[in-house]
Amino acid sequence: MMDQKTLKSAEVLFDLAYAEDIGDGDITTNNLINPNETRTAQFVAKAEGVVAGLPVAEMVFRKFDENLKWKEMIPDGSEVKPGDIIAEFKGNYRALLTGERKALNFLQRLSGIASYAHLCMKEIEGTKVEILDTRKTLPGYRHLDKYAVRMGGASNHRFGLYDMVMIKDNHIQVAGGITAAVEAIRKRVPKSIKIEVETTNIEQVKEALAADVDIIMLDNMSSSLMKECVDIINKRAKIEASGNMTIKRIRKVAHTGVDYISIGALTHSVKALDISQRIID
């Protein structure tokens, strides 16, 4: 179910979409369609995938017609195949036509994210690894993009810069090393905040382990080097594999023994799921 914070985020984005797409009005629809005419429409899947974003699509149409009658045939998080009717809705004909592209832009993007997350989860079936997203989201879409990741069966990493410590290479360089960076953070940050450190070699892994951090990221390592690092850590910290993670590679990475695999492509390289709107009466 979509939480209110995510839906509120969608409403802010809708206002931007309205301004850029409609301006002073839909001159084609408003000059061809009777303002009192009602019709029924359907969203139809044209490709295999996982649907996500139906509450947002419904919200879009209700912005134009508060009396819209909406019925979901296939709920968010469900698999679809070509020809499946995802939702059916009846309302003002002008509203259905003017709202169509905005509703589909949301629905197709979020369903594309959910679909790719689902494929990644299928790829690692039988392992205990958790697939994570990243902060590589479309600006303004983070709540929605991360919602779609969950609908696809994967999990969310930190939401922003404020809810988890992530010590990366530039932080390490400025602080003078991993140990110094962790010590400085611990003096200023509550103990309840988890600390993760990015590492690129065995020496850094050993230093992060000695600093007793919560999560050690193995960044842009080969699978064989990851396995060596996993053995060194030996369950004394959680392990995240990151960097150049593709769906073709993640099963091999999962078998190295890491706990998490973070995949930026879940949200930064979205292929929209093909969904169409059709008027049925």
List C-alpha distances in Å: 157 to 18, 128, 212, 261. 31, 17, 20, 10
101 catalytic per annotation: yes
Catalytic residue among 8, 168, 252, 278: 168
Task: Characterise 30 by phi-psi region: left (phi > 0), alpha (psi -120 to 50), beta (else).
Answer: alpha
Give yes or no: 198 in active site. yes
Annotated active-site residue 186? The verdict is: no
Do the bridges between strand 49-50 and strand 165-167 make them parallel or antiparallel, or are there none, so unpaired? Answer: unpaired
The C-alpha atoms of residue 120 and residue 114 are separated, in whole angstroms, by 10
Query: Of these residues, 196, 219, 240, 259, which one is catalytic?
Result: 219
Active-site residue, selected from the candidate residues 39, 46, 135, 136: 136
Looking at 198, 207, 240, 259, which residue is catalytic? 198
Q: Where are the alpha helices (DSSP H) in 65-177?
A: 93-123, 142-151, 169-175
- Mark whether 136 is an active-site residue: yes
Tell me whether residue 8 is one of the annotated catalytic residues: no
Q: Output b/e per residue, 48-81; b: 16+ Cβ within 10 A.
A: ebbbbbbbbbbbbbbbbbeebebebbbebbbebe
Catalytic residue, from 46, 101, 206, 271: name it.
101
Active site residues: 101, 136, 168, 198, 219
